[in-house]
Amino acid sequence: MLLTRNSPASTPGPGEWFTGTVFIDAVAAPAPPSRVAAALVHFAPGGHTAWHTHPLGQTIYVVEGLCMCANRDGTVEQLGPGDRMYFEPGEEHWHGATPQRFMTHLAIQEADESGSAVTWGAPVSDADYAAAYS
């Protein structure tokens, strides 16, 4: 068994990865031979990720609030508590809170052989974010 104590403070989401106010709490770090990581990600209203991909895919599980997810082909989905979204390996996407609601999701992803679990891209444009809610 291995006990890991929780950090006394949430980690602010880096501006290169997120727009708006976002905080991250680690849930699981890879412990070889496993390569699975998980984090609770807390989004203030309007907070969202940049475009990104995962080499081995990603599952998000909405804990509270309303989550919007979109991919490059224009598909947009709204998720509520208990809903799950799986993003295919290499699928460029973003996710985050609606403009009026806080949202928390559990993000689960696996790192590839090099240790990479995500490749971050450009910020989501205001127009792309707004289009998800129209």
Confidence check: pLDDT of 133 > 90: no
Mean pLDDT of 68-81: 96
CA 64 centroid distance within chain? 14
pLDDT at residue number 29? 87
The confidence score (pLDDT) of residue 30 equals 85
How is the chain split into domains, by residue range?
21-131
What's the chain's length in residues? 134
Mean pLDDT of 57-67: 98
Strands (E), 20-92: 22-28, 36-43, 48-49, 52-53, 58-65, 67-71, 76-79, 84-87
Report the topology of domain 21-131: Jelly Rolls (2.60.120)
